[in-house]
Structure 1
């Protein structure tokens, strides 16, 4: 009712419907962790970096390089249908002291990130400035200068006009921090009182002749250093409190899949890293994609000695519902080595297949089968027979197979709790991922409930909104059952929330669903018809 009824007449009041639409979260945002040639590192304020294409990755972290396996995994992700990725660049060593520096008279600049990539940068300064701009900022034209930087390998060039070392909107350190992907003011340099001396009297036009002379600043030292190889779990895990290493992902809002390719080609990711990553994925409602170790050369090698190699992964217990292992590794051509064939881990490919399946069919569809083709793959490191596949599938090892005409495909969809012996509720990847999707969506979509009066009107609103979300999934074919009653239920009433719960400030919501499970085994029964006898 309106607050004040002061005159005779008609009053209009808008009443809330009580409907608060719950929007489903993304299902295939994939996080990659590893070394790269350049780009923000995990400890930087602007890391991790969200990308939407492989071109984004190359611009920020460098082109394919055999020294950095993460780049190949990201490439495979996008080749197979990936959409959005989160990159965590790890750096072993003192990154702050591993940046190339450029001395420009009284001004010292440094590369935007650590690594020898910046040894190919060239910097120029000129004084062809605008007097009008100088007056606009209350500066003399002699206070301004132009700066141009060029990457001599990629040809990328950045130009910044009318910069100054004095306080103004064009102060050089602020402009570079906001707009340059190549340069920063050196961390150990204070702004000088006077602008740097011009190296040329005009702005470079980008031609090679202008850059291939002594009027450009090259790095003043060889201190630029690439990251050393990662050799222990601490270098991957970093600090949970400082949000470095794998815990840099705490800075991002959401990720669904996690890939940690081995640090060197032909190597293995440490089992201790996988164990910590699996526990982290449980906290973040994500799935860890595990690459088979190099010692898994055949099905027999995995199953011998009572499945010793599988046990040695140490990925067991309820948390293993949030992890899945794929075997074998794949053979691909390497553009960085003139197309030569080599062996690569499949984590990026599998993540891309999951993203593609989510888009085409939904997160409840198993990312496996003849439609789950492995794009960009020339072959598999180990060719499996049906019998060998039959040895591994009951253990929860997902196989990559190659079939005539279909080519290489994902041919398994079990979590690491997918062993027949365990009989786990979350045996299958699509069931687990659907549960994680519902959990994350409802977690975000019911935040409005906090501090609302805890009684029947609230419970009815909760049932309405959560029920609408589940009904939408039912209509899309996410659940078993012909009717909503068969497919799901939402319960929030005096039975789930007792008076004692109300006194404690608790409201309990119970949501159940009947998941679709993949048809792993298709049985076709044939019967020979006996000749019909006329009577």
Structure 2
């Protein structure tokens, strides 16, 4: 029987289970931050959770190749970030190949991950194979750090593979579970030859991937967005149960309008906040305000700032990693709802700013939803304003403040995920009662934790789930259930939402408190 011995660290991919009706919805959980950008190597279109820079370098890095994503992640961990979800995107699908000749043709292995720095080597031998067994062979595959310093980072060893399609150890079946290679083209009828190099007399011989080639072109909007049906780019995050903060990382240019609007819509769908560096053409407070108004790009789910840092070459730099790490650190200390007690977000890092903002300029930026960045004392700097890009555009005023918006999104997403079980139950009074009790307990726990406000717990929130809320869109004989939830945040009136929980998704609609539908369904 074939055995694969894979030597690797954690894949960074985890499985999450949904809650049941008897389980309480957690009041506190880790803030999930996702970074999308290019990396020299590693899996593409797969969210990978890392807990530090060393782990990122092992999965995605190459010695001597520092990019924007690596720099932003350094900021994130230096400012209190604990776990980062990384999605690698690339502008090319080209992959390395390794070709093994044999009496009936070649066996071609293709790297799972694309890119010129995904360096692999492999070797075939017949050690331990009976001399009368002409179909079997052994295969060893190595993932290397670089060509200059070929340190083995990952290894897969397959003993007793076969080219016989009727054999349980058929190579076509065995390599389906490989994290490194897949089979390219047809599998030959006879086993490949032993790997042999004329200049190696002692030790194993290996076939290496293609000669080094350079990846050309920068990431486009479409590379970052990806495809929702294939789950690539931004839509790879569909594999994650929770995503609270999304940080798209461009190469050397600003995100284009296609990427911005698509990412904003995705954040609305996922109840997430997107952190954006300001465009390079924001050269002054006046131009920042003018360009922000001219673009028409506004959203309560987007946070940006001004001025943008510059690097040692006087080129635009990024700060979203430091901002994300600081938010994660604040959430861990006082909860998402506790940020209102801090007038500024204090961060650290070696940054340069083109100039310092005065008080009047900071107030002018805040009125249009732009936060102000200023250096306090190196290496410390702070972000003030704490507003979303909703500010000043006539949208729902409740979402102008970053703390209130993040708290509401946190609560909405937790309810949507925690009540998922109800979509698979019969839409009857028993399910309504169980769902009502579960969500009501959650609101009570939020009030106790200080996230909701009112004279007493009953004043801080309510839940309606009955025949009236389920008499319209959701027939009682079909899967899916509708309910209404209201809650009060600090400094806000009662916010009400209709949830329509279905097996594939949960749709959330904001309601006006004075709307009778909010009380009667």
Instruction: Return the TM-score normalized by structure 2.
Output: 0.75
Structure 2's unaligned 5+ residue stretches are: 1-19, 493-521
Structure 1's unaligned 5+ residue stretches are: 1-16, 334-339, 519-535
**Counterpart Cα distance in 1 of 2:168 and 2:314:** 52
Please say if residues 30 and 86 of structure 1, whose CA atoms lie closer than 8 Å, have aligned partners that are also in contact. yes
The 1:282–1:482 alpha-carbon spacing in structure 2 relative to 1, beyond 3 Å, is: same
> What is the CA distance between 1:420 and its match in structure 2?
7.9
Asked if 1:248 corresponds to 2:227, the answer is: no
The 1:112–1:406 alpha-carbon spacing in structure 2 relative to 1, beyond 3 Å, is: closer
Equivalence map 1:378-527=2 (5 Å): 378-404=351-377, 407-419=380-392, 424-450=397-423, 451-452=425-426, 454-455=428-429, 458-492=431-465, 509-516=483-490
Question: Aligned to 1:188, which of 161, 169, 185?
Answer: 185
Asked if 1:274 corresponds to 2:276, the answer is: no
Please say if residues 51 and 86 of structure 1, whose CA atoms lie closer than 8 Å, have aligned partners that are also in contact. yes
**Aligned twin of 1:76:** 75
**Aligned twin of 1:113:** 113
The 1:396–1:154 alpha-carbon spacing in structure 2 relative to 1, beyond 3 Å, is: farther
> What is the CA distance between 1:161 and its match in structure 2?
5.6
**Aligned twin of 1:327:** 306
The 1:189–1:464 alpha-carbon spacing in structure 2 relative to 1, beyond 3 Å, is: same
Question: Aligned to 2:218, which of 229, 236, 255?
Answer: 229
**Counterpart Cα distance in 1 of 2:34 and 2:156:** 33
Q: Deviations 1:213-252 (Å, cap 9, x if unpaired)?
A: xx44344555x45252134x33333333333332233343
Question: Aligned to 2:333, which of 360, 379, 382?
Answer: 360
**Counterpart Cα distance in 1 of 2:84 and 2:122:** 32
> What is the CA distance between 1:429 and its match in structure 2?
1.5
Please say if residues 35 and 87 of structure 2, whose CA atoms lie closer than 8 Å, have aligned partners that are also in contact. yes
Please say if residues 299 and 392 of structure 1, whose CA atoms lie closer than 8 Å, have aligned partners that are also in contact. yes
Question: Aligned to 2:43, which of 31, 40, 54?
Answer: 40
Please say if residues 331 and 377 of structure 1, whose CA atoms lie closer than 8 Å, have aligned partners that are also in contact. no
* Structure 2 residue matching 1:312: 3-state secondary structure: helix
Question: Aligned to 2:194, which of 176, 182, 197?
Answer: 197
Please say if residues 281 and 288 of structure 1, whose CA atoms lie closer than 8 Å, have aligned partners that are also in contact. yes
**Aligned twin of 1:298:** 284
Q: Deviations 1:127-155 (Å, cap 9, x if unpaired)?
A: 5x346xx79xxx84993335253624361
Instruction: Return the TM-score normalized by structure 1.
Output: 0.74
**Aligned twin of 1:312:** 294
**Counterpart Cα distance in 1 of 2:436 and 2:150:** 57
The 1:484–1:150 alpha-carbon spacing in structure 2 relative to 1, beyond 3 Å, is: closer
The 1:103–1:414 alpha-carbon spacing in structure 2 relative to 1, beyond 3 Å, is: same
**Counterpart Cα distance in 2 of 1:65 and 1:502:** 60
Question: Aligned to 1:102, which of 98, 102, 118?
Answer: 98
> What is the CA distance between 1:362 and its match in structure 2?
0.6
- The farther-off stretch of 389-398 and 166-175 is 166-175
**Counterpart Cα distance in 2 of 1:125 and 1:440:** 50
The 1:20–1:245 alpha-carbon spacing in structure 2 relative to 1, beyond 3 Å, is: closer
Q: CA RMSD in A?
A: 3.8
Q: Deviations 1:15-65 (Å, cap 9, x if unpaired)?
A: xx98442235856212222222112223xxxx2434343333222222487
Please say if residues 344 and 384 of structure 2, whose CA atoms lie closer than 8 Å, have aligned partners that are also in contact. no
Pick the structure with more strand per residue. 2
> What is the CA distance between 1:170 and its match in structure 2?
5.9
